[in-house]
Amino acid sequence: MTTDVNVTLYQTNELLTKVNVLADDINGKMTTIDPLFTAVADLSESVSDLNDSARHLSKKAATAGKNSVKAGTTLSILRMITKLFKK
């Protein structure tokens, strides 16, 4: 019985040692790729801001286009009225 316990303790100790080595390896690799995740997050935020700006600019352009059509139509009507009164 004592021999079985000793074998189990030895194997558990070996397993814990391997787990610690693996955990250290993972932590080192995470430290290496951490800046990558930060850069991807920053890029994602920049793209989102760019999309918002493009959407805003597009709405402004559409509104400006509608206003210029209205102004052009009003100018055409005024020209027609002026021609009618000149006759």
Residue ranges per domain, the chain? 1-61
- The answer on pLDDT for 87 being more than 60 is no
23-73 pLDDT, tens digit each: 999 999 999 999 999 999 999 999 898 888 888 888 887 776 666 666 667
> What is the pTM for the complete model shown?
0.48
* pLDDT, position 1: 76
Euclidean distance between CA atoms 36 and 20, whole angstroms: 25
What is the DSSP secondary structure assignment for residue 63, as one 8-state letter? H
